[in-house]
Structure 1
């Protein structure tokens, strides 16, 4: 290898087998929340832990994507398997949405941090 320094810092380079490289698994956090509806603004605000009003502003500004498509309406319904990403906040996956006895939704989210 011909790399001997980076800027003013001397470095040594050694070749290692590809099998010795390890990939860190993504950090994940499972979130459960009870919501009145499956609207995008409600689910995303629960997953990213911001107020529903702020999430509505982010959605209208085009900073939120649902399944990698830009969304501008806060009232879009989400379903299990959908991926919600927000600029500067991360990404979350809707794992499950079940109806409770009081006709609300118990939503299980997986947030990648």
Structure 2
């Protein structure tokens, strides 16, 4: 791969860039077809940008439903039609009849799955629904999870494998916050959203625990913009919904959607 391309990516992303370019070259030169595991939106963006640089390769992204966040990619020579290809994913339904799911959250299910030794990239989006959750998983991981996932955060559960058309989607609940900020600097907005002092948000940001649009961001002064998705490991994530304007005192009114 042209070395100058590395400049477009964070050093932590270079390993994935190399891997993605290898998939692309194999498709172009060996006519190989590659079905990836689930990619996060940043990885999908990197892969798409690299595919677009190669005239003989194309790819398809699919996460099991139209608004999926995490998606599998199918990379192939450009003459191959990809629309009808099987993306090899299924729905893992997790349920319990004891009513204790009221307190279980996305992280509880994710923790239980990873606790079985499952890699994160075998798991797509997780939808917490009434009475349990529906989780997109790769077919090669589905049977293992079906047989071994029996407990989520001390709650005994049953699992079932369902086709994609039986997927139930979670209602995304955003707690809306209206902020008045001096600037759109990332550290200031993160500090206000999570109610931390500016000093306390600097440490995790500079330690590489903050992502903007799924890209690692270590610069506390980075300006945020409308539509940005921000996550701080250990605290949660939020979306900049709207920059509403300037107050009479010259401050910026920002509407934030914090994921519950």
* TM class by smaller structure: 0.7 to 0.9
Q: 1:94 aligned to 2:240?
A: yes
User: Is 1:45 aligned to 2:191, yes or no?
Assistant: yes
Q: SS of the counterpart of 1:108?
A: strand
Partner of 2:222: 76
SS of 2:242's equivalent in the other structure is strand
Report how far residue 92 of structure 1 moved.
0.4
Quick one: structure 1 residues 18 and 39, their matched pair in 2 at CA, closer, same or farther if it must change by over 3 Å?
Answer: closer
Structure 2 residues not aligned, in runs of 5+: 1-145, 151-156
How many aligned positions are there?
106
Q: Distance in 2 between matches of 1:33 and 1:112?
A: 16
Q: How has the CA–CA distance of structure 1 residues 15 and 103 changed in structure 2, closer, same or farther, with 3 Å as cutoff?
A: closer
1:19-30 matches, within 5 Å, as 22-30=168-176
In structure 1, the residue matched to 2:210 is: 64
Give the CA RMSD over aligned residues: 2.8
Residue 112 of structure 1 corresponds to 259
* Helix, strand or coil at the partner of 1:81: coil
Distance of aligned partners of 1:82 and 1:15 in 2 relative to their CA distance in 1, 3 Å threshold: closer
Instruction: Provide runs of 4+ in structure 1 moved above 6 Å.
Output: 11-21
Query: For 2:214 and 2:222, how far apart are their aligned partners in 1?
Result: 14
- Give the TM-score, by structure 2 length: 0.36
CA separation in 1, counterparts of 2:202 and 2:217? 11
Per-residue CA deviation, residues 63-111 of structure 1 (Å, 9 max, x unaligned), is 1101111111110001111111111211100011221111111111000
Unpaired segments of 5 or more residues in structure 1?
Answer: none
Higher helix share: 2
Please identify, of 62-71 and 24-33, the stretch whose mean Cα deviation from structure 2 is larger: 24-33
Structure 1 length normalisation: TM-score? 0.78
